[in-house]
């Protein structure tokens, strides 16, 4: 029998964790808390050290390990930020009312792309919130909607920060394997009903990091129905909305029937506008989740600098053709890298979206094929090519690496040649 949905549109009632209404903190030895100690090691920090060692050794490093876009931010965004720095009214704390222009711009942008969600238009006050990036938003959202010991359905592989966020929130991750044979979509029918019923939320991310898998509307309809059936909040991390090939944009779960009653979607200027260092994003969707997250954030931050919010507002107003142009840059790089890797014997299929190429390490790597961290360490040490080890994306990531398409096609071809030489080197 279907369980009673736990997600309601109450503010913040239906989805708020006990923590949202009152905090208890515990130190459990040394200075680090148990939840801090439960955080996994960061593969990005590991690769940072490995890159520094390679540079110190005189290697010319081609860094494809981090998904930090190298394309320029929109000029109108930079102009808005410049103007804001000359405007003293931007210098103080930005309270919630100050972030309304960004929330309005985000709602307008969503309406222009996807139309109004079935059942009602998004309201900038009830359905939108400014974030300091979608990473910050997701971590605090888990605090806002789940209590220590609660379970979360989490894709595996997944963006590494999810695992840290789950640990810090004291949650149990129930892994949902993403398999290539299943289009890198979780098989929701394979989730044990007991697991689905005891979980608080389902986390999805399409276009996906690291696999570059894409979800279609039919999958989102199944995910929405699943969340209704099991009383789950559907958290769709959506920073790669603008990175699909072709004319259509990646689907927004909020545009699906019944989604606004169960789903919240997290957006980022980091990928859409190449503004990763600016730390700005926004959440849209379920009003109870938005209100709970706003409440947690009121204890944590005073919103991003108003000038950065104005930069995001300016970027959100740019025509869709600009996003298309950038997506084509990544598509061309992807094609160039796939072709260059094929030439050195590493055959891969180009995905239709995203900023990444997710690749099983070829058998020619010998023992390193089963140890992505050792493979990446040896590769950057010997060739200067830095990749992200699949292991950092979860147990199902082991045996893979992720290439970030954040250098031009020539650099990617150079990287592929060096990888080819590494794979054929004796020993
Ligand atoms: C799936 C996913 N979510 C969130 C982020 C971080 O986005 P932001 O810069 O908005 O915090 C990334 C960055 O690579 C990502 O891949």
- Contacts of residue 195, Cβ cutoff 8 Å, sequence gap at least 6: 151, 153, 174
Token pair of 277, please? 């260092």
Q: What is the pLDDT of residue 23?
A: 30
Mean pLDDT of 233-255: 92
Q: Is the CB of 272 under 6 A from ligand 1?
A: no
SS3 assignment, position 74: coil
Token pair of 239, please? 């920073």
Q: How far is the CA of 318 from the centre of ligand 1 (A)?
A: 21
User: Over 60: is that where the pLDDT of 290 sits?
Assistant: yes
Q: How far is the CA of 237 from the centre of ligand 1 (A)?
A: 8
Q: How far is the CA of 206 from the centre of ligand 1 (A)?
A: 12
- Answer whether CATH 3.40.50.720 is correct for domain 43-72+321-424: no
Q: Is the CB of 20 under 6 A from ligand 1?
A: no
Mean pLDDT of 59-76: 97
Q: How far is the CA of 270 from the centre of ligand 1 (A)?
A: 7
User: Over 50: is that where the pLDDT of 11 sits?
Assistant: no
User: Over 80: is that where the pLDDT of 252 sits?
Assistant: yes
Confidence grade of residue 29 (pLDDT, cut at 50, 70, 90):
low
Q: What is the pLDDT of residue 198?
A: 95
**Whether this model's pTM surpasses 0.85:** yes
Q: Is the CB of 135 under 6 A from ligand 1?
A: yes
Q: What is the pLDDT of residue 28?
A: 38
Mean pLDDT of 263-286: 97
Q: Is the CB of 205 under 6 A from ligand 1?
A: yes
Per domain, the residue ranges of the chain are 43-72+321-424, 77-318
**Ligand 1 atom nearest 270 alpha carbon:** 9
Q: How many residues does the chain have?
A: 427
What is the spatial distance between Cα 381 and Cα 385, in angstroms, rounded to a whole number? 8
Q: Is the CB of 239 under 6 A from ligand 1?
A: yes
Mean pLDDT of 95-122: 95
User: Over 80: is that where the pLDDT of 305 sits?
Assistant: yes
What is the spatial distance between Cα 285 and Cα 260, in angstroms, rounded to a whole number? 6
Q: How far is the CA of 239 from the centre of ligand 1 (A)?
A: 6
Q: Is the CB of 73 under 6 A from ligand 1?
A: no
User: Over 50: is that where the pLDDT of 17 sits?
Assistant: yes
Q: What is the pLDDT of residue 15?
A: 59
In 3D space, the residue among 136, 104, 110 whose CA is nearest the CA of residue 260 turns out to be 110
Confidence grade of residue 91 (pLDDT, cut at 50, 70, 90):
very high
**Average model confidence (pLDDT) across the chain:** 92
Q: How far is the CA of 20 from the centre of ligand 1 (A)?
A: 24
Q: Is the CB of 159 under 6 A from ligand 1?
A: yes
Task: Tell how far CA 146 is from the center of its chain.
Answer: 19
Are 39 and 168 in contact by the 8 Å Cβ rule? The answer is yes
Q: Is the CB of 276 under 6 A from ligand 1?
A: yes
Pocket test for ligand 1, best of 129, 138, 268 (most atoms within 8 A of CB): 268
Q: Is the CB of 281 under 6 A from ligand 1?
A: yes
Tell me what percent of the residues of the chain surpass a pLDDT of 90: 87
Q: What is the pLDDT of residue 7?
A: 41
In 3D space, the residue among 122, 126, 129 whose CA is nearest the CA of residue 282 turns out to be 129
Q: Is the CB of 282 under 6 A from ligand 1?
A: no
Q: What is the pLDDT of residue 14?
A: 53
Opening angle at CA 42, ends 347 and 38, nearest 5: 130
Q: What is the pLDDT of residues 306-351, one digit of tens each?
A: 999 999 999 999 998 999 999 999 999 999 999 999 999 999 999 9
Opening angle at CA 415, ends 414 and 417, nearest 5: 65
Q: Phi, psi at residue 252, to the nearest 5°?
A: -95, 130
Q: What is the CATH number of domain 77-318?
A: 3.40.640.10
């Amino acid at each position: 029998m279907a369980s009673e949905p736990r997600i309601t549109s109450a503010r913040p009632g239906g989805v708020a964790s006990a923590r949202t209404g009152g905090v208890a903190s515990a130190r459990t030895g040394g200075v680090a808390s148990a939840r801090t100690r439960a955080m996994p090691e960061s593969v990005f920090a590991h690769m940072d050290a490995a890159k520094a060692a390679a540079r110190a050794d005189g290697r010319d490093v081609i860094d494809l390990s981090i998904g930090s876009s190298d394309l320029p931010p929109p000029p109108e965004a930079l102009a808005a930020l410049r103007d804001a720095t000359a405007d003293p009214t931007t210098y103080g704390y930005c309270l919630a009312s100050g972030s309304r222009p960004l929330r309005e711009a985000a709602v307008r942008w969503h309406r222009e792309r996807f139309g109004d969600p079935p059942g009602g238009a998004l309201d900038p006050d009830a359905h939108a919130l400014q974030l300091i990036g979608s990473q910050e938003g997701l971590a605090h959202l888990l605090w806002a909607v789940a209590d220590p010991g609660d379970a979360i359905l989490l894709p595996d592989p997944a963006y590494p920060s999810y695992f840290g966020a789950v640990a810090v929130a004291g949650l149990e991750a129930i892994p949902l394997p993403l398999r290539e044979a299943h289009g890198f979509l979780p098989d929701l029918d394979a989730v044990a009903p007991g697991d689905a019923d005891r979980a608080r939320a389902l986390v999805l991310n399409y276009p996906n990091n690291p696999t570059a898998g894409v979800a279609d509307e039919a999958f989102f309809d199944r995910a929405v129905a699943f969340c209704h059936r099991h009383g789950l909040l559907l958290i769709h991390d959506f920073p790669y909305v603008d990175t699909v090939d072709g004319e259509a944009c990646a689907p927004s779960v909020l545009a699906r029937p019944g989604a606004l009653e169960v789903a919240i979607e997290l957006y980022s200027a980091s990928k859409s506008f190449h503004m990763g260092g600016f730390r700005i994003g926004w959440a849209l969707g379920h009003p109870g989740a938005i209100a709970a997250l706003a409440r947690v954030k009121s204890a944590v931050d005073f919103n991003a600098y108003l000038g950065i919010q104005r930069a995001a507002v300016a970027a959100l107003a740019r025509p869709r053709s600009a996003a298309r142009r950038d997506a084509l840059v990544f598509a061309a790089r992807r094609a160039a890298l796939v072709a260059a890797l094929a030439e050195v014997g590493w055959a891969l299929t180009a995905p239709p979206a995203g900023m990444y190429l997710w690749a099983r390490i070829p058998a020619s790597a010998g023992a390193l094929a089963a140890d992505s961290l050792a493979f990446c360490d040896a590769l950057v040490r010997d060739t200067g090519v830095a990749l992200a080890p699949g292991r950092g994306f979860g147990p199902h990531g082991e045996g893979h690496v992720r290439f970030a398409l954040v250098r031009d096609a020539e650099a990617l071809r150079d990287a592929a040649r060096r990888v080819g030489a590494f794979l054929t080197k004796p020993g």
